[in-house]
Amino acid sequence: MSSYNADKNSPSAFYRTKGQGEEIVRSIFPETTIVRPAPVFGFEDKLLHKLAGQANLFTSNRMQERFRPVHSIDIGSALAVMAEDDSTAGETYELYGPKEYSMAEIAAMVDREIIKHRRHINLPPRVLKRLSEWYNRLIWWSQTCADKVEREFIDQKVDPKAKTFKDLGIEPANIANYTFHYLVSIYGPVSVA
């Protein structure tokens, strides 16, 4: 399992190490199937629940990063097909949803479902990178890092040579059809008096 935007020349350390890892694995095991999922949504995900759970959203790119979120169940279905089909060996698969969104568009969907509007605070990248370093020294679990700030400025790029859900006979789900389903489990149904 790799990541979308895996590229050994990326300005992001995360994407860069994913690209380097793919290259090393393929040099040792050429038959390795590489899977690059887009940001994932589903039960207890880090996409919808991060947006729904914070009172303030701190970003540096005004939530303009663009990507095609993918349903966790679709990834599981794709992996099941790959496990049973020897023709997938040695291939690279980019697994992404049917529609591209900005983070701001997804945040608006989340706000609509939880009937709450959170403040969005945009900070210069240099400031947010420094704050993230300081913040992570205060608490023992990592919430953000300088590289996450860097990734805010990198839109999802799809490798035109990679195979997709279509090659596996799977129609991926659109996040817009699932935001309520996944958020109601945590935030509960809203009752109107």
pLDDT in tens, the chain (193 residues): 999 999 999 999 999 999 999 999 999 999 999 999 999 999 889 899 888 886 677 899 999 999 999 999 999 999 999 999 999 999 999 999 999 999 999 999 999 988 888 888 899 999 999 988 888 778 766 667 889 999 999 999 999 999 999 999 999 999 999 999 888 866 655 544 4
Query: Pairing between strand 34-37 and 92-95?
Result: parallel
User: Which backbone phi and psi does 67 adopt, to 5 degrees?
Assistant: -160, 170
Q: Measure the CA–CA gap between 125 and 143, rounded to whole angstroms.
A: 16
* pTM as predicted: 0.89
The CA-based dihedral angle spanning residues 156, 162, 168, 174, taken in that order and rounded to the nearest 10 degrees: 10
Nearest partner of 148 among 163, 133, 170, judged by Cα: 133
